[in-house]
Amino acid sequence: MLTRRNFALGAATGIMGGALAWVDHARASTRTTGRPPSVEEVLHDPDQPVLGNPGGALTIVEYFDYQCPFCKRYHPDLVRAVEQDGNIRLLMKDWPIFGGTSLRAAQLALGGVTDGSYQRAHDALMATEGRLSEAQVYDALQAAGLATDRLDAGYQANRARLDGLLGRNAHQAAAFGLSGTPVFIIGSVIYPGVLHPEDLDRAIRDARR
């Protein structure tokens, strides 16, 4: 199971914001969710889009929001690290905590899973800056050459499944006691907060050890 046990301060790990060890069989202290999520639930949710190398030996998870300025500012560094490594599965777990616009952005992006346009939609939204209006979400997607009505149709056709995915992401965040975005899981460690490029590289090296 995944829990918040074995907290290690960032000063000890060299990672800004601290790190939470992932203890596979530790006992949970999840006040709101009843039980912690399993490794399989977090890393291999069948409805979660997979970026990077789907067969990669290492998985990086990020809990993010399309309106989170830090998620978007440092996303290019994450993408570069994944592409340069070539052996990383990247799971961008939507956790729309900034309200209705964030939820709508997540719904439209996930609607692209049906026709293979998810990554284009995701990239377009991650390239925006700061807080967004719903109109700006639509504008960003359309500027990337995507038909928002088609994205919405993809979401509506799979609404129960995709809403279930968003619910499971929220369940996991609550179980881990997360308080904001971004949050990363790299190997056996949870990293709350921003990972600068050097910290990200170090975390990947540590996970490979």
Domain that holds residue 96: 7-208
Q: Is the dihedral of CA 166, 171, 172, 177 positive or negative?
A: positive
Q: Look at residue 137 and tell me if it is in a domain.
A: yes
3-class DSSP state of 160: helix
Share of the chain above pLDDT 70, in %: 84
Give the end-to-end CA distance of the chain in Å, rounded to a whole number: 21
Query: Would you state the pLDDT for residue 36?
Result: 79
pTM (two decimals): 0.86
Q: Look at residue 85 and tell me if it is in a domain.
A: yes
Number of alpha carbons in the 13 Å side-chain half-sphere of residue 107 = 20
Model pLDDT for residues 76-98, shown as the tens digit of each residue: 999 999 999 999 999 999 999 99
| pLDDT over 70 (residue 198) | yes
Q: Look at residue 115 and tell me if it is in a domain.
A: yes
Mean pLDDT for the stretch of residues 201-205? 96
Q: Count other C-beta atoms under 10 Å from residue 121's C-beta.
A: 24
Q: Look at residue 127 and tell me if it is in a domain.
A: yes
Residue 115 · residue 73 · CB < 8 Å: no
Number of domains in the chain: 1
The tokens 């692209």 sit on which residue?
112
Q: Look at residue 83 and tell me if it is in a domain.
A: yes
| pLDDT over 80 (residue 10) | no
Cα–Cα separations (whole angstroms), residue 101 to 56, 66, 69, 171? 32, 9, 14, 20
CATH of the domain at 67: 3.40.30.10
Query: Would you state the pLDDT for residue 20?
Result: 53
Q: Look at residue 2 and tell me if it is in a domain.
A: no
3-class DSSP state of 204: helix
* CA gap 100, 102 in Å, rounded: 5
Query: Would you state the pLDDT for residue 187?
Result: 87
Q: Look at residue 1 and tell me if it is in a domain.
A: no
Q: Look at residue 82 and tell me if it is in a domain.
A: yes
Model pLDDT for residues 108-166, shown as the tens digit of each residue: 999 999 999 999 999 999 999 999 999 999 999 999 999 999 999 999 999 999 999 99
Q: Say which DSSP state 44 is in.
A: -
**Position 31 confidence tier, pLDDT thresholds 50, 70, 90:** very low
| pLDDT over 50 (residue 52) | yes
Model pLDDT for residues 170-192, shown as the tens digit of each residue: 999 999 999 999 999 998 899 99
